[in-house]
Amino acid sequence: MLHNPAASAAPSPGTGAGVLGRLLTLWRRFWSRSNEKVGYLFILPSLIHLIAFLFIPLVFSFFLSFRDWTKPSFADAPYVGLDNYQFLLGDRRFWQAMGNSAYYTALAVPLGMAFSLAIAIVMNQKLKGKAFFRTLFFMPVVSSWVAVSIIWLTLLDPNVGIVNYVLKLFGVTGPNWLGDPRSAMPSIALIAIWKSAGFNMVIWLAGLQAIPQELYEAAAIDGANRWQSFWRITLPLLAPTSFFLAVTGVIGALQVFTPVYVLTKGGPLDSTNTAVFHIYRRAFQEFDFGYASAQSWVLFAVIFVITVIQVGLRRRNEEIQY
């Protein structure tokens, strides 16, 4: 048998040169597909943004939650293990803030969904000027939370606010909306319901317009009135829309921050001190970044568990139906 020097010199598939060759081949194939190359170039700015402002801060906050960083220099942030999480379990103020967030969520999400559904049903009718009213309802959604909060801060002022002035015309003495612990959180929830009603309305409208009109016609022939059609046809067929709004609404409500920061600063008497605002104060006012990071990850875990429960209940209902 003749010896072939070139064959013996060629790298075997298991060598580093062989692996490098395969990588170069894959790279050439990748860049030879012009459509894929252009697509990846388009998503590159967003990918860089996500890595720089989402992925890296997430990893760093998780790393920071195991350290005691209360000094300006990161070199003075000793590793403390699970001490931050152990202290958090007995932190009464943090769990009070979590309770305030849960209270706000229980007010804002179901009432907001019901209110926006009522608007969507009206806007789904054949009415003159409904496009104008749809735009009018959607305007608060695109408005800045800070600007909206400042406007409502003036409207709800107990002395010069127009809300109490109108109530006084009817002989009703309006409360100190944002200064009373009993009415502060419901006031913020009502403002949030008003601001998000337009977005929810658009989602409800998409669900309503996807329902075949033949079902309502058949129900009318069988003698069903509008209320019966709503309960037997509209609500069941809006289940996917309701699920979407419930999940996104709970996630957003548990992270409420801006209206609390602008309107009440967590007061009065910590009645509106929500979880995110409490974390903000711990990090940027008390400069305890390690403990604040641990609180953030606990809040994330709570939101994740609640979302998983919602998804599980949804799948269970679908299995029961089918």
User: What are the pLDDT tens digits along the chain (322 aa)?
Assistant: 444 444 444 444 445 567 777 777 766 666 665 566 777 788 889 999 999 999 999 999 999 999 998 877 667 788 999 999 999 999 999 999 999 999 999 999 999 999 999 999 999 988 888 889 999 999 999 999 999 999 999 999 998 999 999 999 999 999 999 999 999 999 999 999 999 999 999 999 999 999 999 999 999 998 989 899 999 999 999 999 999 999 999 999 999 999 999 999 999 999 999 999 999 999 999 999 999 999 999 999 999 999 999 999 988 887 776 6
Q: Could you tell me which residues come within 8 angstroms of residue 182 by beta carbon, excluding any fewer than 6 positions away?
A: 175, 271
- Give the count of domains, the chain: 1
- This prediction has a pTM of 0.85
Q: Quick check: is 233 in a domain?
A: yes
Question: What's the CA gap between 240 and 2, in Å, rounded?
Answer: 73
Give me the domain span that covers residue 305: 83-321
Question: What's the CA gap between 243 and 311, in Å, rounded?
Answer: 8
Q: Quick check: is 34 in a domain?
A: no
How confident is the model over 150-178, as pLDDT tens digits? Answer: 999 999 999 899 999 999 999 999 999 99
Question: What's the CA gap between 17 and 242, in Å, rounded?
Answer: 56
Q: Report pLDDT for 51.
A: 94
- The first and second tokens of residue 105, run together, are 């969520």
Cross-strand pairs, 67: 79
Length of the chain: 322
Question: What's the CA gap between 64 and 25, in Å, rounded?
Answer: 41
Q: Quick check: is 105 in a domain?
A: yes
Question: What's the CA gap between 4 and 231, in Å, rounded?
Answer: 83
Q: Quick check: is 52 in a domain?
A: no
CB 202 within 8 A of CB 117: no
Q: Quick check: is 280 in a domain?
A: yes
Burial 34-48 (b: 16+ CB within 10 A, else e): eeeeeeeeeeeeeee
Q: Quick check: is 53 in a domain?
A: no
- The first and second tokens of residue 254, run together, are 């548990």
Q: Quick check: is 58 in a domain?
A: no
Angle between helices 184-209 and 130-142 in degrees, nearest 10: 130
Give the CATH number, domain containing residue 124: 1.10.3720.10
Q: Quick check: is 192 in a domain?
A: yes
